[in-house]
Structure 1
Amino acid sequence: MTASSSLRPTLKAQLLERIGHLNLAEALLPASHPDIDQLIHDLEAITPIAQPLQADHWPTLLGTWDLIYASQGTVVTRRLPLWPVGLRRVWQRLAPSAQPSVPIVTENGAVVSLPVIGELTAIAQGVWQPYEEAESASVSFGSFSLQPTRLLGVTGLHLPKLTLPIFDALRREALWITSYLDDDLRIGRGATGNLFVFQRTSIGQGGWASKPSPAP
């Protein structure tokens, strides 16, 4: 066993423990957590998979991942302080595409709670185009949907979903780097250096959905 492989479980346990002390809003809203960021850097340096976007590694890469930490917030959470809402869950689902020209499709979703009204699920559908070095990809989104999932305290409702296409002229591509990957933990970086930590969603479990954040 190499020194890095023996150190990795300890670093992972420390990272998850530090993140676990935060509620979801604290973990996903822009804030300074230098101890967490340093643990992320340490894990990135000893990633067990150097080219995570190679097709050989897709069994590990693909699936549903709950976002448990974002150093500079996300597109959704950077706007949360403007709304009287609570954050219930943020996730990303990666799957192989049926189109040869589009290797990986992605579903980025968030569940937020609205006072009095209930819960709303927002989902963006997009694609990943990996680069040859198999660590980074160009990401773009083609549609966005909103659906009430709990209304006035009543769950199990099948309310209509509003899906809006994102026209080509408004579509933006972003650089996404997968800097660490193992069976149940994934770390990504945005073009601005934002750090994202994902944990594989447990079967039959909603991940962070069971640990909602208070309304900001």
Structure 2
Amino acid sequence: MTAHCSAQKHDLLAAIAACSQPWQPQPAEADRILRAIAELEAINPTPEPTTATALLEGDWKLLFTTSLELLGIDRLPLLALGEIWQCLRLSDRRVVNLAEVQSLLGTGLVSVAAQFEVVSDRRLEVSFQRLVLGLERFLGYRNVATWVERLGQDQRIWTGIDFPVQPGNRRGWIELTYLDQDLRINRGNEGSVFVLQRPGTGQSA
């Protein structure tokens, strides 16, 4: 990675870390982050990210998003978003999105499992298949990796709500606009942007 790219990456992570509320940044904070995202996308070190399987594989923690669908949860009374993850399994073309939700009843988990197809050197087409939600203590949730493995076994989970996604809501796409060993930026079909980091790489937001 070039020194210029490292500096732009540092600026983005610093802008995210400076937010007063991670999922509800002030307008000036959001503008600074979005400018830093665009600058980093312009110097993407991985021009064909869908072919970089070693970089894509794994569990990615969401640092910032403009997704109204996700951020709407944080604005509901008595609910607050916790950690959010996107987990990619390239061998069987699976993607699992996980969101922790804090409530008066305890920590809940909302998870969506999907299959994806590579449709270009930057784009994954996603077909949503399954929604599972419930309280973590009833679901037996321990950590991200074991939960993704459990969903991959395709067995119904009776201690939570587990049902297929309706056909009309099944498809979407992910445009990979920046990728390196520990940072990924996606843009989605609804116009949202997502900044994700692979934990345990010595980087910090």
Which TM-score tier does this pair reach, normalised by the shorter chain? 0.7 to 0.9
Match of 1:101 in 2: none
The number of residue pairs the alignment matches comes to 185
Task: Give matches, 1:87-126, under 5 Å.
Answer: 87-98=81-92, 104-115=93-104, 117-126=105-114
Q: 1:45 to 1:90 in 2, by over 3 A?
A: same
Structure 2 CA distance for partners of 1:200 and 1:74, relative to 1, 3 Å: farther
What amino acid is the match of 2:88?
A: L
CA contact (8 A) 1:142 1:171 kept: no
Q: Distance in 2 between matches of 1:79 and 1:165?
A: 21
User: What TM-score, normalized by structure 2, do the two folds share?
Assistant: 0.80
Structure richer in helix, relative to its length: 2
In the other structure, the counterpart of 1:62 is 57
Aligned-partner residue type, residue 160 of structure 2: K
How many Å separate the matches in 2 of 1:200 and 1:31?
26
Report the Cα distance in structure 1 between the residues aligned to 2:189 and 2:29, rounded to whole angstroms.
18
1:213 corresponds to which residue?
A: none
Give the equivalent residue in structure 1 for 2:164. 165
TM-score normalised by length of structure 1: 0.76
Counterparts of 1:143 and 1:37, CA distance in 2: 31
DSSP-derived class of the 1:82 partner: coil
What runs of 5+ residues in structure 1 fail to find an aligned partner? 99-103, 209-216
Aligned-CA RMSD value: 2.7
Which whole-Å CA distance do the structure 1 matches of 2:28 and 2:68 have between them? 12
Q: 1:52, 1:74 → 2: CA distance? A: 26
Which range moves more in the overlay, 77-86 or 117-126? 77-86
Where does residue 8 of structure 1 map in the other structure? 5
Structure 2 residue 127 is the aligned partner of structure 1 residue 140: yes
